[in-house]
Amino acid sequence: MNERGWRDLHQIDGREIDDYDNDDAIYLLALDGDRVVGGQRLYPTVLPHMLSEVFGHMAPRGLPKAQHVLEWTRYFVVKERRMGRTDCRLLAAIQQF
């Protein structure tokens, strides 16, 4: 929240969530013990998703929509891990998935 200034996502318990953080979302996380140090979210394009509902104007020719096509959002790496291997591992995780 502090880095990007996205106040609308902030919850009282400290989490940042939006309408697409629900049971249909798939999360790939980078963990260091019990601590989440990076992550990314995949969301089915056959359901209303962020690109279709919020940023649809950015795709004037339309959006792909299929069971095997996922929207890829919420990519993050904690600040102190951005110069290390965490980013590479998250990119490898998306390819492996």
**20-54 pLDDT tens trace:** 999 999 999 999 999 999 999 999 999 999 999 99
List the domain range (segments joined by +) for residue 74.
23-96
pTM: 0.81
Dihedral over Cα of 84, 86, 87, 91: its sign: positive
Query: Does residue 68 form part of some domain?
Result: yes
Q: How confident is the model at residue 14 (pLDDT cuts 50, 70, 90)?
A: low
CA 37/CA 61 separation, integer angstroms = 36
What pLDDT does 43 receive? Answer: 97
Q: How many CB atoms lie within 10 A of CB 22?
A: 10
How many domains does the chain fold into? Answer: 1
Q: By the 8 A CB rule, do 28 and 39 touch? A: yes
In a domain, 2, yes or no: no
The mean pLDDT of the chain is 89
